[in-house]
C-alpha cells in the first residue's frame, strides 16, 4: 500500500493513535500535516518525520482555526487528499453527573471537529474529483457502555455524518469511512481504568480483564499500529467500492 505523495491532514496527530497514523502514512509515501491543539507537539512530531511534513496549530472546535489550518496546508502543498479526523477526549461518569459544559466539550471535539474539518477540505476534493475522509470512531459507534454518554453519542453520530458525505461525495470521487477501534492502550484509556474501577466498585484489574478485554477473543488490547495500518488501507483504497462503512478493529470484541 502506497500513498504516492498524497497530502494527508491528521487531527490530534501529536500523540497516540494520530501520531502513529502520521508515522505510517509518512513511511508509505504520504506527506503529512499534523494538526493538534498542542502546536509545539505537532511541530516537533512533523520535524521528526522529515522536512516536507507540517505541524500546525488547530483547535478542531474553532471554525476559524480549522479553516486557517487547512489553508496553511493548501498554501504549502496545493491540496488535501486525505483527512483523518482523529482528535478526541474522554470523560467517564454517569449521565446525571455530567455538566452541560462537559457534555458539550466531548461532543464538540469528536463531532463538531469532524464536521468543521470535513467542510474545510471538501470543496477542494470535489473540485479535483477525488479525496478520502476517515473518522476515528469506536466500537462505541456501534454499541454503548455505561459512564460514557457524550462519547458514545458522538461516536454514533459520526456514522451518520460519514454516510451522508459518502452519499454526497461518491459521485464526486470522495470516499469516507469510520475506523472503530476497541480499547487501545493510550493515555486516554489508561486514565479510564481507575475511574471505572472507582465508579463500578471493582478492581482495576477487573476493569481491564472484564470490562475492557472480556469480550475479545484473546484478551489483548488493540494497538496503535493496528489502527494506523487500517487507516493506511482505507486511505489508499482506490474506488468507491469501500465507502460509508465502519471498520471494527477490536480483537473480536465486536463482530459485524
Return the active site residues. Answer: 151
Among residues 71, 65, 72, 66, the alpha carbon closest in space to that of 46 is found at 72
CB-CB contact of 125 with 172 (8 Å): yes
Phi-psi region at 145: left, alpha or beta (left = phi > 0; alpha = psi -120 to 50): beta
**Looking at 37-158, which runs of residues are DSSP E strands?**
54-57, 82-85, 131-136
Among residues 145, 12, 30, the alpha carbon closest in space to that of 77 is found at 30
d(CA 111, CA 104): 10
Amino acid at each position: 500500500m502506497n500513498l504516492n505523495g498524497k497530502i494527508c491532514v491528521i487531527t490530534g496527530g501529536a500523540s497516540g493513535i494520530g501520531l502513529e497514523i502520521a508515522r505510517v502514512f509518512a513511511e508509505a509515501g504520504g506527506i503529512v500535516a499534523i494538526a493538534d491543539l498542542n502546536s509545539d507537539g505537532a511541530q516537533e512530531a512533523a520535524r521528526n518525520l522529515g522536512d516536507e511534513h507540517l505541524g500546525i496549530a488547530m483547535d478542531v472546535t474553532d471554525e476559524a482555526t480549522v479553516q486557517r489550518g487547512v489553508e496553511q496546508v493548501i498554501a504549502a502543498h496545493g491540496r488535501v487528499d486525505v483527512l483523518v479526523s482523529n482528535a478526541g477526549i474522554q470523560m467517564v461518569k454517569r449521565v446525571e453527573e455530567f455538566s452541560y459544559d462537559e457534555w458539550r466539550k466531548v461532543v464538540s471535539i469528536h463531532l463538531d471537529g469532524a464536521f468543521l474539518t470535513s467542510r474545510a477540505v471538501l470543496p477542494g476534493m470535489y473540485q479535483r474529483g477525488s479525496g478520502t475522509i476517515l473518522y476515528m470512531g469506536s466500537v462505541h459507534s456501534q454499541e454503548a457502555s455505561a459512564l460514557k454518554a457524550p462519547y458514545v453519542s458522538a461516536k454514533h453520530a459520526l456514522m451518520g455524518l460519514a454516510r451522508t458525505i459518502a452519499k454526497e461525495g461518491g459521485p464526486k470521487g470522495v470516499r469516507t469511512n469510520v475506523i472503530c477501534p476497541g480499547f487501545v492502550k493510550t493515555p486516554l484509556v489508561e486514565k479510564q481504568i481507575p475511574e471505572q474501577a472507582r465508579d463500578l466498585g471493582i478492581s482495576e484489574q477487573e476493569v481491564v480483564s472484564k470490562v475492557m478485554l472480556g469480550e475479545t477473543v484473546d484478551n489483548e488490547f488493540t494497538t496503535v499500529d493496528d489502527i494506523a495500518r487500517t487507516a493506511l488501507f482505507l486511505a489508499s483504497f482506490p474506488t468507491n467500492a469501500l465507502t460509508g462503512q465502519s471498520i471494527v478493529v477490536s480483537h473480536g470484541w465486536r463482530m459485524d
